[in-house]
Amino acid sequence: MNSFAYLFERFPSFVQTFVYREAAEMVRRGMAPWLVSIRRPDDPVDLAAEMAAEVFYLPEEKALRAEVDAQRAAGKLDRRARRAMARQRAAGDSQRIFEAIWLAPRLRERGVRHVHAHFGGVAARTAWWLRELGGFSYSFTGHANDIFCATDFPVSNADLVAGARFVVTETDHARRWMEATYPAARGRISRVFNGIALDGFLPREPAGAVPRILSVGRYVEKKGFGDLIAACALLRDRGVAFACEIVGGGPLEAELLGQIEARQLGGMVRLLGPRPQTEVRRLLAQAQLFVLPCVVEADGGSDNLPTVIIEAMLAGVPVISTTVAGVPEMIAAGEDGLLTPPGDPAALAAALERLVLDAALGERLATRARQSAVAKFSVETTVRELQCLLIRQAPIFVPEAARDHDSTLPEVPRTPFWTGLMRRFRP
């Protein structure tokens, strides 16, 4: 019997390793979640092979849809499912209805009553339909643009929040934003930081003659890499020696290469393209500075709690970022890193120059940063917080193995019989 189901759009994903780490830790803690992925991974590294649990994948979209249509034709679907299919078949995102209808009996077979999704996207909308058509409860973790940016899907962000038993956000900034945006959800939104495994970081390498500045992220607007290139041009003009490497990939690659060429920074700033996690850890060990100059996009999207900043803190690298979203919850400015205003290359260049020229300050900041990151972002700590939320607010079945692992877990609250019926059959 499974305690609950994780429902993912695509799992595992190499660009969402924080989700993988959470699921793996939940398995390690004896919670026996059923790991369900709507789509198969398309990344070159098979993270699932490292997890001590099987991932269940839904059939390909057309095959799944045909199977549900066959069930309807044979009279095997209840009235709610038939009506939803008839009303929404031609609407956008109707595949989520078919996924919910197909998945519901398989959840029941495993004793699952509650589903937790990551991101307010495909998986969360499927979970919403599981509630509507099957009486399941759900929760979801919202991350960044998936909650900050409105969508035009039939199931809106407001619908997802209203229907959830509870919502998790990565930062207090996002929690406050969601409570202001959806006042009726106050009291059902909790902050749980993304968790990081504390092992696997390499020893710092001695600094070379030329300071190495590292940045990592997708080549998209919210990462602020255009500001970093502009700041590097200012450093060069001041006669500061450095080498800057930007790991990633994405739609702005050609534009960023054009900026590097236009500012004649070809010998000082390089786009390295995507690199595996092991290579990123090696680059962190070699870097004297890590910088991620986050900005808010034109449509309101932004980073929320950039995992790579946590990784740099744990690697013992001095960090510079901006005062966007939840970043100030990660870095106490002047204590364990430096923060600058977003979209301000001059301020960014000043912070870079300060740490390039004052290695002792950088080391002091990095030492404090690692201590802070261990206390805040250990995956054991963050997953236990989510585990307790699931037990108290879903509530879910808790396996004996989980209590053997952690005898201090809260008890599942008793639910009056009539309340349970209302929850099961509410529209």
Region 75-87 average pLDDT: 95
According to CATH, the topology of domain 212-377 is Rossmann fold (3.40.50)
Q: Among 212-226, 232-246, 408-422, which is the least confidently predicted range?
A: 408-422
pLDDT of res. 277: 84
pLDDT of res. 374: 92
Q: Which has the closest alpha carbon to 182: 174, 172, 171?
A: 174
Region 62-71 average pLDDT: 97
pLDDT higher at 410 or 52: 410
pLDDT of res. 82: 95
The domain spans of the chain are: 5-195+378-425, 212-377
In this prediction, residue 155 has a pLDDT band, given cuts at 50, 70 and 90, of very high
The CATH homologous superfamily for domain 5-195+378-425 is Glycogen Phosphorylase B; (3.40.50.2000)
Rounded Cα gap, residues 370 and 373, in angstroms: 5
The dihedral over CA atoms of 424, 20, 329, 229, expressed in degrees to the nearest 10, equals -130
> What tokens appear for 283 in the block?
């680059």
Q: Which has the closest alpha carbon to 326: 310, 346, 311?
A: 310
pLDDT of res. 427: 37
| CATH topology match: 5-195+378-425 vs 212-377 | yes
pLDDT of res. 197: 87
In this prediction, residue 424 has a pLDDT band, given cuts at 50, 70 and 90, of very low
pLDDT of res. 168: 96
* Percent of the chain scoring above 90 in pLDDT: 77
Helix (H) / strand (E) element for 369: namely helix 359-377
Rounded Cα gap, residues 71 and 29, in angstroms: 38
Task: Please list, in sequence order, all residues whose beta carbon lies within 8 angstroms of the beta carbon of residue 207, skipping any fewer than 6 positions away.
Answer: 288, 359
* Percent of the chain scoring above 70 in pLDDT: 94
Report strand pairing: 34-39 vs 137-142: unpaired
DSSP-assigned beta bridge partners for residue 55: 35
Rounded Cα gap, residues 292 and 391, in angstroms: 36
Q: Which has the closest alpha carbon to 268: 353, 210, 206?
A: 210
Region 256-284 average pLDDT: 94
Q: What is the pTM of this model?
A: 0.83
Rounded Cα gap, residues 220 and 29, in angstroms: 36
pLDDT of res. 417: 41
In this prediction, residue 74 has a pLDDT band, given cuts at 50, 70 and 90, of very high
Q: Among 33-42, 73-82, 410-419, which is the least confidently predicted range?
A: 410-419
pLDDT of res. 49: 56
